[in-house]
Amino acid sequence: MTRDDDGTSVESTAVGDEPATGDANGRAPSRRSLLGWGGAGLALGAVAAGGTAVALRPGSDGRPAVPDDTLGAAVPFHGTHQAGIATAVQDRLHFAAFDVTTDDRAELIALLKAWTKAAARMTAGAAVGEGAVGGLAEAPPDDTGEALGLPPSRLTLTFGVGPTLFEKDGTDRFGLKGRRPEALIDLPRFPGDNLDRKRSGGDLCVQACADDPQVAVHAIRNLARIGFGRIAIRWSQLGFGKTSSTTPEAQTPRNMMGFKDGTRNISGTDTAALDKHVWVGGRDGPDWMAGGSYLVARRIRMHIETWDRTSLKEQEDIFGRDKGEGAPVGEKRERDEPNLKAMLPTAHVRLAHPDTNGGARILRRGYSFTDGTDGLGRLDAGLFFLAYQRDVRNGFIPIQQSLARDDVLNEYIQHVGSGIFAVPPGVRDKNDWWGRELFGRSA
């Protein structure tokens, strides 16, 4: 939930370790150039690479003043870390977890290469393969076409591998068992969990974030299509209205409970905090994960109707912050230092705070979801929680243990889906591919 992991506020620095060119392979025509705008998309991609923080500097009215011409820009695909973690959080999400259906290691590798190639193209705003139009009349086009004419929309595709890729039902499926990171643990059962198997787990995951939902959905749809026969979608989740910001200078977004969420989230430009809490270090264990991160995904259902019948005072007491400004109990401004002792011992913010959890901090980029109604006339809505951390064992787990046990918010929420994934480091260049280091030299 609104896991308000407070921490020291740090000066922003530009994301400096990403290459300045987002164009992945061979300068295929971008969706933009199909519109006749020539290389504008590529040029903007380069601007965005200089620092996404620049694009989201707040205006005088407190709202992010995003220059129109950067809204649709491309986020560089290649770099030390995968895009979509420290990247300024986009507005929309399509997250998908996949089962690998082939037993053939070579086929899996071929798929990851094909996926990487398609991902590089899509994030640059280009169509998959030979495009959506202009191919053989007798055959379905390589690209499904619904993103044709749309700008790159800051699409990022972030790839991860789940524990079952290394071992499933006691079987070492791809010869990877010995390469499983210790930190990629099977999550313990937390009190109150009501996990649906069909919305949990997965051998692989791809997180697609974009400012346009159509672009995010297009990306997952095309990756699934490329993969049919080797992978199958296990479950997926659409999200809207980011609930955490990695750009603390922008206005803090609100979750479905109406509360500001992510006031003290780790900034995407705070390299010191990212190195300390998010990126896996060279000595952390296995080499192939250095520069990567660990992702926990939780589908958290909110009991919206009962929450809406809760008094304002109770709502604010539950969180430990006020609803309008977002100020901690007893303080005036959202960003004032919280006095934890002034809050209820069971207040959400107090329990989630690093001081309560041995300094544990995570980078959150969750989204709200609303999947219609649940058949009982209740809104099937909540938070799709996504958190990145250097080690889940001293990131999500201690925080969630503290929350699951005592958080008074639990009366209004339930964790119904869960996944954990190792997110490898970034794809370095056009010869590199998702998971190459994992599969080692034999690939």
Partner 1 sequence: MRALRSSVVTAIAVAASLTAVAGCAEKNDSKGGGKGAIEVTASDTACELSTKEFPAGHVRLAVENKGSKVTEVYVYAPGDRIVTERENIGPGTSVEITAEIKPGAYEIACKPGMKGDGIRQKVTATGKGATAERDPKLDAAVAAYRKYVQRQADETLPRAEKFARAVKAGDVEAAKQAYAVSRVGWERTEPVAESFGDIDPKVDVREDGLSDGQKWTGWHKLEKALWESEKISDEDAALADRLIADLKDWQKRVGTAEITPTSMANGAKELLDEVATGKVTGEEERYSHTDLLDFQANVEGAKKAYELLRPVASKNDPELAKELDKQFAAIEKRLDKHRDSDSADGFVSYDTVGKGARKELSDGVNALAEPLSKLAAAVVTTK
Residues making contact with partner 1 (CB under 8 A)? 99, 101, 130, 135-136, 138-140, 198, 225, 228-230, 232
At residue 255's C-alpha, the angle toward residues 202 and 292, to 5°, is 40
Q: Please name the residues in contact with 124: beta carbons below 8 A apart, sequence gap of 6 or more.
A: 22, 23, 24, 28, 30, 41, 42, 45, 74, 77, 152
User: With respect to partner 1, which residue has the nearer C-beta, 225 or 378?
Assistant: 225
Closest distance to partner 1 from the beta carbon of 110 (Å): 10
User: With respect to partner 1, which residue has the nearer C-beta, 199 or 277?
Assistant: 199
Closest distance to partner 1 from the beta carbon of 229 (Å): 4
Structure tokens at 398: 């201690």
Closest distance to partner 1 from the beta carbon of 206 (Å): 17
User: With respect to partner 1, which residue has the nearer C-beta, 229 or 358?
Assistant: 229
User: With respect to partner 1, which residue has the nearer C-beta, 225 or 276?
Assistant: 225
Q: The tokens 């923080």 sit on which residue?
A: 53
- In sequence order, what are the beta bridge partners of 58? 64
User: With respect to partner 1, which residue has the nearer C-beta, 232 or 272?
Assistant: 232
User: With respect to partner 1, which residue has the nearer C-beta, 198 or 341?
Assistant: 198
d(CA 365, CA 95): 12
d(CA 142, CA 145): 9
d(CA 210, CA 195): 28
Closest distance to partner 1 from the beta carbon of 203 (Å): 13
User: With respect to partner 1, which residue has the nearer C-beta, 233 or 408?
Assistant: 233
User: With respect to partner 1, which residue has the nearer C-beta, 3 or 230?
Assistant: 230
d(CA 265, CA 7): 8
Give the long-range contacts of residues 37-46, CB within 8 A, separation 24 or more.
41/72, 41/73, 41/74, 41/124, 41/125, 41/151, 41/152, 42/74, 42/124, 44/69, 44/70, 44/72, 44/73, 44/74, 45/21, 45/73, 45/74, 45/75, 45/76, 45/124, 45/152, 46/20, 46/21, 46/22
d(CA 52, CA 54): 5
**Among candidates 161, 442, 393, 178, which has minimal Cα distance to 286?**
178
User: With respect to partner 1, which residue has the nearer C-beta, 139 or 376?
Assistant: 139
Closest distance to partner 1 from the beta carbon of 169 (Å): 14
Q: Please name the residues in contact with 318: beta carbons below 8 A apart, sequence gap of 6 or more.
A: 310, 344, 347, 348, 408, 409, 412
Closest distance to partner 1 from the beta carbon of 135 (Å): 7
User: With respect to partner 1, which residue has the nearer C-beta, 219 or 352?
Assistant: 219
Q: How far apart are the first and last CA of the chain?
A: 40
CB of 259 within 8 A of CB of 325?
no
Closest distance to partner 1 from the beta carbon of 99 (Å): 8
| Count of other CB atoms within 10 angstroms of residue 8 | 11
